[in-house]
Amino acid sequence: MRFPFVFGLTLSMAAVPALAATNEAAHRLAQDSIIVDTHIDAPGELMSHWDDLGVATPGKEFDYPRARQGGLAIGFMSIYTSPDQDNAGTAWQSANTQIDAVEAMVGRHPDKFAKLTSPADVARQRQGGKVLLALGMENGAPIGDDLSQLAAFHKRGVRYITLAHSANNRISDSSYALQKKWGGLSPFGEKVVAEMNRLGIMVDVSHLSDDSIRDVLAATDVPVIASHSGMRHFTPGFERNISDELAKAVAAEGGVVQLVFGTGFIDAKAASDLQASFQAEADFDRENAALVAAGKPARSKDDFEKAWKDAHPMPVTHIAAVLDQIDYAVKLIGVDHVGIGSDFDGVSGNLPVELKSVADYPNLVAGLQARGHSDADIRKILGGNLLRVWTAVEKAATAR
Protein backbone atom coordinates (compact mmCIF):
# COMPACT_ATOMS: atom_id res chain seq x y z
CA MET A 1 0.00 0.00 0.00
CA ARG A 2 1.17 3.54 -0.72
CA PHE A 3 -0.81 6.26 0.97
CA PRO A 4 -1.79 9.38 -0.97
CA PHE A 5 -0.31 12.67 0.15
CA VAL A 6 -2.58 13.12 3.16
CA PHE A 7 -0.62 10.83 5.42
CA GLY A 8 2.38 12.70 6.76
CA LEU A 9 4.03 11.39 9.93
CA THR A 10 3.06 13.69 12.79
CA LEU A 11 2.92 11.65 15.98
CA SER A 12 5.25 12.65 18.81
CA MET A 13 6.94 9.74 20.50
CA ALA A 14 7.55 11.92 23.56
CA ALA A 15 3.81 11.87 24.17
CA VAL A 16 3.53 8.08 23.98
CA PRO A 17 3.43 6.09 27.23
CA ALA A 18 6.04 3.37 27.58
CA LEU A 19 4.93 -0.04 26.36
CA ALA A 20 4.91 -2.73 29.04
CA ALA A 21 7.30 -5.60 28.46
CA THR A 22 5.73 -8.36 26.39
CA ASN A 23 5.43 -11.56 28.38
CA GLU A 24 7.59 -14.59 27.79
CA ALA A 25 4.64 -16.74 26.68
CA ALA A 26 3.85 -14.30 23.86
CA HIS A 27 7.45 -14.28 22.64
CA ARG A 28 7.53 -18.06 22.74
CA LEU A 29 4.29 -18.41 20.78
CA ALA A 30 5.43 -15.84 18.20
CA GLN A 31 8.64 -17.79 17.63
CA ASP A 32 6.89 -21.15 17.55
CA SER A 33 4.05 -20.12 15.21
CA ILE A 34 4.27 -19.69 11.45
CA ILE A 35 3.69 -15.96 11.17
CA VAL A 36 2.61 -14.97 7.65
CA ASP A 37 2.41 -11.23 6.98
CA THR A 38 0.80 -10.77 3.58
CA HIS A 39 1.82 -7.18 2.93
CA ILE A 40 5.28 -5.67 3.47
CA ASP A 41 6.33 -2.88 1.10
CA ALA A 42 10.10 -3.43 1.32
CA PRO A 43 10.74 -3.79 -2.45
CA GLY A 44 9.25 -0.40 -3.30
CA GLU A 45 11.27 1.20 -0.52
CA LEU A 46 14.44 -0.29 -2.00
CA MET A 47 13.62 1.43 -5.29
CA SER A 48 13.69 4.84 -3.61
CA HIS A 49 16.59 4.14 -1.23
CA TRP A 50 18.66 0.97 -1.31
CA ASP A 51 19.53 -0.73 1.97
CA ASP A 52 20.91 -4.13 2.84
CA LEU A 53 17.91 -5.64 4.63
CA GLY A 54 19.96 -8.62 5.74
CA VAL A 55 21.40 -6.43 8.50
CA ALA A 56 19.84 -3.97 10.94
CA THR A 57 18.26 -1.11 8.99
CA PRO A 58 16.68 1.38 11.42
CA GLY A 59 15.17 3.51 8.66
CA LYS A 60 12.98 0.66 7.44
CA GLU A 61 10.30 -1.44 9.15
CA PHE A 62 11.47 -4.78 7.74
CA ASP A 63 14.93 -6.27 8.04
CA TYR A 64 16.28 -9.71 8.91
CA PRO A 65 17.32 -9.13 12.54
CA ARG A 66 13.96 -7.65 13.52
CA ALA A 67 12.04 -10.26 11.52
CA ARG A 68 13.78 -12.96 13.54
CA GLN A 69 13.20 -11.05 16.77
CA GLY A 70 9.48 -10.81 16.01
CA GLY A 71 9.10 -14.40 14.81
CA LEU A 72 8.19 -13.62 11.19
CA ALA A 73 8.29 -16.81 9.14
CA ILE A 74 6.89 -15.61 5.79
CA GLY A 75 6.76 -12.06 4.54
CA PHE A 76 4.93 -11.36 1.31
CA MET A 77 7.03 -8.71 -0.40
CA SER A 78 4.72 -6.23 -2.13
CA ILE A 79 5.55 -5.63 -5.79
CA TYR A 80 3.78 -2.28 -6.00
CA THR A 81 3.19 -0.19 -9.12
CA SER A 82 1.26 3.06 -9.24
CA PRO A 83 -1.50 4.26 -11.57
CA ASP A 84 1.01 6.83 -12.91
CA GLN A 85 3.38 4.01 -13.87
CA ASP A 86 0.48 2.21 -15.49
CA ASN A 87 -0.37 5.31 -17.54
CA ALA A 88 3.29 5.81 -18.48
CA GLY A 89 3.75 2.19 -19.56
CA THR A 90 6.50 1.55 -16.99
CA ALA A 91 4.66 -0.77 -14.57
CA TRP A 92 6.01 -3.98 -16.15
CA GLN A 93 9.59 -2.72 -15.88
CA SER A 94 9.12 -1.59 -12.29
CA ALA A 95 7.57 -4.89 -11.22
CA ASN A 96 10.38 -6.96 -12.68
CA THR A 97 13.00 -4.68 -11.13
CA GLN A 98 11.40 -5.09 -7.70
CA ILE A 99 11.34 -8.86 -8.10
CA ASP A 100 15.02 -8.66 -8.96
CA ALA A 101 15.56 -6.73 -5.71
CA VAL A 102 13.91 -9.50 -3.68
CA GLU A 103 15.97 -12.15 -5.45
CA ALA A 104 19.09 -10.08 -4.78
CA MET A 105 18.28 -10.08 -1.06
CA VAL A 106 18.13 -13.87 -1.14
CA GLY A 107 21.28 -14.13 -3.23
CA ARG A 108 23.21 -11.80 -0.95
CA HIS A 109 22.12 -13.62 2.23
CA PRO A 110 21.26 -17.24 1.39
CA ASP A 111 21.76 -18.09 5.06
CA LYS A 112 19.08 -15.61 6.11
CA PHE A 113 16.46 -15.48 3.35
CA ALA A 114 14.82 -17.91 0.93
CA LYS A 115 12.31 -17.19 -1.80
CA LEU A 116 9.06 -19.08 -1.18
CA THR A 117 6.79 -20.12 -4.03
CA SER A 118 4.75 -22.92 -2.44
CA PRO A 119 3.29 -23.50 1.04
CA ALA A 120 4.49 -27.09 0.75
CA ASP A 121 8.09 -25.84 1.05
CA VAL A 122 7.74 -23.86 4.26
CA ALA A 123 9.12 -26.41 6.73
CA ARG A 124 12.11 -27.32 4.56
CA GLN A 125 13.06 -23.78 3.63
CA ARG A 126 12.75 -22.37 7.16
CA GLN A 127 15.56 -24.60 8.42
CA GLY A 128 18.49 -22.68 9.80
CA GLY A 129 16.44 -19.67 10.87
CA LYS A 130 15.65 -18.34 7.41
CA VAL A 131 12.93 -15.77 6.80
CA LEU A 132 10.94 -16.77 3.73
CA LEU A 133 10.09 -14.13 1.13
CA ALA A 134 6.99 -14.66 -1.01
CA LEU A 135 5.78 -12.26 -3.69
CA GLY A 136 2.47 -10.42 -3.88
CA MET A 137 1.82 -7.98 -6.73
CA GLU A 138 -0.04 -4.84 -5.62
CA ASN A 139 -1.90 -3.58 -8.71
CA GLY A 140 -2.42 -5.74 -11.80
CA ALA A 141 -1.03 -2.98 -14.04
CA PRO A 142 2.21 -4.82 -14.94
CA ILE A 143 0.33 -7.40 -17.01
CA GLY A 144 -1.00 -4.65 -19.29
CA ASP A 145 -3.45 -6.08 -21.84
CA ASP A 146 -1.53 -9.35 -22.13
CA LEU A 147 -3.07 -12.28 -20.27
CA SER A 148 0.10 -14.33 -20.87
CA GLN A 149 1.98 -12.02 -18.51
CA LEU A 150 0.19 -13.74 -15.64
CA ALA A 151 2.07 -16.95 -16.42
CA ALA A 152 5.31 -14.98 -16.76
CA PHE A 153 4.90 -13.38 -13.34
CA HIS A 154 3.80 -16.69 -11.84
CA LYS A 155 7.06 -18.15 -13.13
CA ARG A 156 8.91 -15.33 -11.38
CA GLY A 157 7.19 -16.29 -8.11
CA VAL A 158 4.17 -14.00 -7.80
CA ARG A 159 1.55 -15.79 -5.73
CA TYR A 160 -1.12 -13.16 -5.26
CA ILE A 161 -2.22 -10.13 -7.24
CA THR A 162 -4.17 -7.15 -5.90
CA LEU A 163 -6.22 -6.50 -9.03
CA ALA A 164 -6.26 -2.68 -8.77
CA HIS A 165 -4.78 -0.02 -6.53
CA SER A 166 -5.79 3.63 -6.10
CA ALA A 167 -7.35 4.10 -9.54
CA ASN A 168 -9.51 2.11 -11.92
CA ASN A 169 -7.43 0.03 -14.36
CA ARG A 170 -7.99 -2.43 -17.19
CA ILE A 171 -9.00 -5.14 -14.75
CA SER A 172 -11.18 -3.61 -12.08
CA ASP A 173 -12.61 -0.55 -10.42
CA SER A 174 -10.77 0.81 -7.38
CA SER A 175 -12.35 1.63 -4.05
CA TYR A 176 -10.52 4.97 -4.12
CA ALA A 177 -11.83 6.11 -7.52
CA LEU A 178 -14.45 8.85 -7.29
CA GLN A 179 -15.94 7.69 -10.60
CA LYS A 180 -16.02 3.98 -11.38
CA LYS A 181 -15.25 2.81 -14.91
CA TRP A 182 -16.58 -0.73 -15.14
CA GLY A 183 -19.16 -1.12 -12.40
CA GLY A 184 -17.01 -3.95 -11.01
CA LEU A 185 -14.64 -6.19 -12.94
CA SER A 186 -14.01 -5.44 -16.60
CA PRO A 187 -14.56 -8.19 -19.19
CA PHE A 188 -10.76 -8.52 -19.29
CA GLY A 189 -10.77 -8.72 -15.48
CA GLU A 190 -13.05 -11.75 -15.58
CA LYS A 191 -10.48 -13.46 -17.81
CA VAL A 192 -7.71 -12.41 -15.42
CA VAL A 193 -9.48 -14.04 -12.47
CA ALA A 194 -10.03 -17.26 -14.44
CA GLU A 195 -6.38 -17.38 -15.50
CA MET A 196 -5.17 -16.70 -11.96
CA ASN A 197 -7.32 -19.60 -10.77
CA ARG A 198 -5.79 -21.80 -13.48
CA LEU A 199 -2.23 -20.84 -12.58
CA GLY A 200 -2.62 -20.93 -8.80
CA ILE A 201 -2.23 -17.19 -8.11
CA MET A 202 -4.39 -15.99 -5.23
CA VAL A 203 -6.84 -13.22 -6.10
CA ASP A 204 -6.52 -10.29 -3.70
CA VAL A 205 -9.57 -8.04 -3.26
CA SER A 206 -7.99 -5.34 -1.10
CA HIS A 207 -8.30 -1.92 -2.78
CA LEU A 208 -11.22 -3.05 -4.96
CA SER A 209 -14.64 -1.40 -5.11
CA ASP A 210 -17.50 -3.28 -3.50
CA ASP A 211 -18.99 -4.21 -6.87
CA SER A 212 -15.60 -5.49 -8.02
CA ILE A 213 -15.33 -7.75 -4.97
CA ARG A 214 -18.81 -9.11 -5.69
CA ASP A 215 -17.79 -9.80 -9.29
CA VAL A 216 -14.59 -11.54 -8.17
CA LEU A 217 -16.54 -13.80 -5.82
CA ALA A 218 -18.94 -14.66 -8.64
CA ALA A 219 -16.09 -15.41 -11.05
CA THR A 220 -13.59 -17.32 -8.91
CA ASP A 221 -13.55 -21.08 -8.44
CA VAL A 222 -11.27 -20.93 -5.37
CA PRO A 223 -11.05 -18.90 -2.15
CA VAL A 224 -9.75 -15.33 -2.30
CA ILE A 225 -7.86 -13.11 0.11
CA ALA A 226 -7.96 -9.49 1.20
CA SER A 227 -4.22 -9.06 1.74
CA HIS A 228 -4.31 -5.84 3.81
CA SER A 229 -7.71 -4.44 4.68
CA GLY A 230 -9.44 -3.05 7.73
CA MET A 231 -13.01 -3.65 8.82
CA ARG A 232 -15.32 -0.90 7.54
CA HIS A 233 -17.37 -1.23 10.71
CA PHE A 234 -14.76 0.99 12.39
CA THR A 235 -14.45 3.48 9.49
CA PRO A 236 -17.99 4.08 8.16
CA GLY A 237 -18.15 5.18 4.54
CA PHE A 238 -14.54 4.23 3.80
CA GLU A 239 -14.87 1.83 0.86
CA ARG A 240 -11.19 0.85 1.00
CA ASN A 241 -11.98 -1.20 4.13
CA ILE A 242 -14.08 -4.30 3.70
CA SER A 243 -17.77 -4.24 4.63
CA ASP A 244 -19.37 -6.79 6.92
CA GLU A 245 -21.40 -8.13 3.99
CA LEU A 246 -18.35 -8.70 1.80
CA ALA A 247 -16.19 -10.06 4.62
CA LYS A 248 -18.89 -12.67 5.22
CA ALA A 249 -18.98 -13.46 1.50
CA VAL A 250 -15.20 -13.89 1.36
CA ALA A 251 -15.37 -16.23 4.36
CA ALA A 252 -18.31 -18.18 2.92
CA GLU A 253 -16.13 -19.05 -0.09
CA GLY A 254 -13.33 -20.24 2.21
CA GLY A 255 -11.23 -17.08 1.96
CA VAL A 256 -9.40 -14.98 4.54
CA VAL A 257 -9.38 -11.28 5.48
CA GLN A 258 -5.85 -10.20 6.42
CA LEU A 259 -6.18 -7.26 8.80
CA VAL A 260 -3.95 -4.25 8.37
CA PHE A 261 -2.06 -2.22 11.02
CA GLY A 262 -1.84 1.22 9.35
CA THR A 263 -3.42 4.12 11.23
CA GLY A 264 -5.28 5.28 8.12
CA PHE A 265 -7.28 2.04 8.10
CA ILE A 266 -7.93 1.55 11.81
CA ASP A 267 -8.76 5.10 12.92
CA ALA A 268 -12.07 6.63 11.85
CA LYS A 269 -10.77 10.21 11.62
CA ALA A 270 -7.72 9.22 9.60
CA ALA A 271 -9.86 7.22 7.20
CA SER A 272 -12.34 10.09 6.87
CA ASP A 273 -9.48 12.50 6.12
CA LEU A 274 -8.15 10.17 3.44
CA GLN A 275 -11.57 9.87 1.83
CA ALA A 276 -11.96 13.65 1.88
CA SER A 277 -8.50 14.11 0.36
CA PHE A 278 -9.59 12.39 -2.87
CA GLN A 279 -12.28 14.98 -3.46
CA ALA A 280 -10.04 17.85 -2.40
CA GLU A 281 -7.32 16.75 -4.80
CA ALA A 282 -9.82 16.31 -7.64
CA ASP A 283 -11.17 19.81 -6.98
CA PHE A 284 -7.64 21.24 -6.93
CA ASP A 285 -6.73 19.56 -10.23
CA ARG A 286 -9.93 20.83 -11.87
CA GLU A 287 -9.34 24.38 -10.66
CA ASN A 288 -5.72 24.26 -11.82
CA ALA A 289 -6.78 23.07 -15.26
CA ALA A 290 -9.18 26.01 -15.49
CA LEU A 291 -6.38 28.43 -14.55
CA VAL A 292 -4.09 27.02 -17.23
CA ALA A 293 -6.89 27.14 -19.82
CA ALA A 294 -7.39 30.81 -18.98
CA GLY A 295 -3.70 31.52 -19.49
CA LYS A 296 -2.99 31.96 -15.78
CA PRO A 297 -0.19 30.25 -13.81
CA ALA A 298 -1.05 26.99 -12.09
CA ARG A 299 -0.99 26.69 -8.32
CA SER A 300 1.67 24.54 -6.69
CA LYS A 301 0.56 20.96 -6.06
CA ASP A 302 3.29 20.61 -3.43
CA ASP A 303 1.95 23.64 -1.55
CA PHE A 304 -1.59 22.22 -1.72
CA GLU A 305 -0.46 18.85 -0.36
CA LYS A 306 1.54 20.46 2.47
CA ALA A 307 -1.40 22.62 3.46
CA TRP A 308 -3.70 19.59 3.50
CA LYS A 309 -1.33 17.58 5.69
CA ASP A 310 -0.86 20.48 8.09
CA ALA A 311 -4.63 20.80 8.42
CA HIS A 312 -5.19 17.06 8.89
CA PRO A 313 -2.56 15.73 11.32
CA MET A 314 -2.32 11.98 11.72
CA PRO A 315 -3.77 10.78 15.04
CA VAL A 316 -1.76 8.62 17.41
CA THR A 317 -3.05 5.04 17.52
CA HIS A 318 -2.36 2.09 19.77
CA ILE A 319 -2.43 -1.66 19.43
CA ALA A 320 -5.91 -1.83 20.95
CA ALA A 321 -7.32 -0.55 17.66
CA VAL A 322 -5.83 -3.52 15.79
CA LEU A 323 -7.00 -5.94 18.47
CA ASP A 324 -10.50 -4.47 18.21
CA GLN A 325 -10.48 -5.16 14.47
CA ILE A 326 -9.36 -8.76 15.02
CA ASP A 327 -11.94 -9.38 17.76
CA TYR A 328 -14.70 -7.97 15.59
CA ALA A 329 -13.67 -9.99 12.53
CA VAL A 330 -13.39 -13.23 14.51
CA LYS A 331 -16.91 -12.76 15.86
CA LEU A 332 -18.30 -11.77 12.46
CA ILE A 333 -16.72 -14.32 10.11
CA GLY A 334 -15.04 -16.89 12.36
CA VAL A 335 -11.48 -17.39 13.49
CA ASP A 336 -10.69 -19.56 10.45
CA HIS A 337 -11.01 -16.56 8.13
CA VAL A 338 -8.87 -13.89 9.80
CA GLY A 339 -5.17 -13.11 9.33
CA ILE A 340 -2.67 -10.23 9.29
CA GLY A 341 -1.28 -8.01 6.54
CA SER A 342 0.60 -5.21 8.31
CA ASP A 343 1.48 -2.80 5.48
CA PHE A 344 4.91 -2.27 7.06
CA ASP A 345 7.04 0.11 4.97
CA GLY A 346 3.93 1.21 3.08
CA VAL A 347 2.24 3.79 5.32
CA SER A 348 5.03 6.30 6.00
CA GLY A 349 5.46 5.15 9.59
CA ASN A 350 1.81 5.78 10.47
CA LEU A 351 1.35 2.72 12.67
CA PRO A 352 0.22 1.94 16.22
CA VAL A 353 2.81 2.85 18.83
CA GLU A 354 3.29 -0.80 19.77
CA LEU A 355 3.41 -2.16 16.19
CA LYS A 356 6.19 -0.17 14.55
CA SER A 357 8.12 -2.97 12.80
CA VAL A 358 8.39 -6.70 12.18
CA ALA A 359 10.00 -7.00 15.63
CA ASP A 360 6.65 -6.27 17.23
CA TYR A 361 4.48 -9.28 16.39
CA PRO A 362 4.91 -10.56 19.99
CA ASN A 363 3.05 -7.45 21.17
CA LEU A 364 0.12 -8.50 18.99
CA VAL A 365 0.30 -12.04 20.36
CA ALA A 366 0.33 -10.75 23.94
CA GLY A 367 -2.70 -8.60 23.20
CA LEU A 368 -4.61 -11.51 21.71
CA GLN A 369 -3.73 -13.71 24.68
CA ALA A 370 -4.88 -11.00 27.08
CA ARG A 371 -8.21 -10.85 25.26
CA GLY A 372 -8.80 -14.54 25.73
CA HIS A 373 -7.87 -16.00 22.34
CA SER A 374 -6.49 -19.53 22.63
CA ASP A 375 -2.99 -20.28 21.40
CA ALA A 376 -4.49 -22.54 18.72
CA ASP A 377 -6.65 -19.71 17.41
CA ILE A 378 -3.76 -17.24 17.55
CA ARG A 379 -1.71 -19.59 15.38
CA LYS A 380 -4.52 -19.56 12.81
CA ILE A 381 -4.66 -15.76 12.80
CA LEU A 382 -0.89 -15.38 12.59
CA GLY A 383 -0.58 -17.54 9.49
CA GLY A 384 -2.38 -20.85 9.54
CA ASN A 385 -5.46 -19.52 7.78
CA LEU A 386 -3.49 -17.91 4.97
CA LEU A 387 -1.48 -21.07 4.41
CA ARG A 388 -4.72 -23.06 4.19
CA VAL A 389 -6.08 -20.77 1.47
CA TRP A 390 -2.80 -20.72 -0.44
CA THR A 391 -2.68 -24.52 -0.33
CA ALA A 392 -6.26 -24.77 -1.64
CA VAL A 393 -5.55 -22.38 -4.52
CA GLU A 394 -2.36 -24.25 -5.44
CA LYS A 395 -4.08 -27.65 -5.24
CA ALA A 396 -6.95 -26.51 -7.48
CA ALA A 397 -4.46 -25.26 -10.05
CA THR A 398 -2.48 -28.49 -10.20
CA ALA A 399 -5.70 -30.48 -10.51
CA ARG A 400 -6.74 -28.64 -13.68
The answer to whether the CB of 137 falls within 8 A of the CB of 79 is yes
- Single-letter amino acid, residue 91: A
| Residue 11 pLDDT | 33
Instruction: Supply the pTM of this predicted model.
Output: 0.93
| Residue 376 pLDDT | 98
The answer to whether the CB of 343 falls within 8 A of the CB of 37 is no
- Helices (H), ranges, 156-230: 187-199, 210-219
What is the helix (H) or strand (E) element at residue 258, kind and residue range? strand 256-259
| Residue 7 pLDDT | 38
Q: Compute the radius of gyration of the chain from its Cα atoms.
A: 20
| Residue 21 pLDDT | 61
| Residue 173 pLDDT | 98
Please state, in angstroms and as integers, the Cα–Cα distance from residue 88 to each residue in 82, 94, 308, 380, following that order. Answer: 10, 11, 27, 41
CA 49, CA 69: separation in Å to the nearest integer?
24
| Residue 246 pLDDT | 99
- Helices (H), ranges, the chain: 24-32, 42-48, 64-70, 83-88, 91-108, 122-126, 148-155, 187-199, 210-219, 244-252, 263-266, 268-293, 301-311, 319-333, 361-370, 375-379, 385-398
| Residue 278 pLDDT | 79
13-268+317-398 to CATH, choices 3.20.20.140, 3.40.50.10330, 3.40.50.1100, 3.40.50.1390? 3.20.20.140
Domain spans in the chain, listed from the N-terminal domain onward: 13-268+317-398
Report the chain (400 residues): mean pLDDT per 10 consecutive residues: 45 36 90 98 95 97 98 98 97 98 98 98 97 98 98 98 98 97 98 98 98 98 98 97 98 98 96 86 83 82 86 94 98 98 97 98 98 98 98 94
Of 276, 78, 48, the residue nearest 161 (C-alpha): 78
Cβ atoms within 10 Å, residue 47:
12
| Residue 289 pLDDT | 79
CA 275, CA 7: separation in Å to the nearest integer?
12
| Residue 18 pLDDT | 33
The answer to whether the CB of 30 falls within 8 A of the CB of 365 is yes
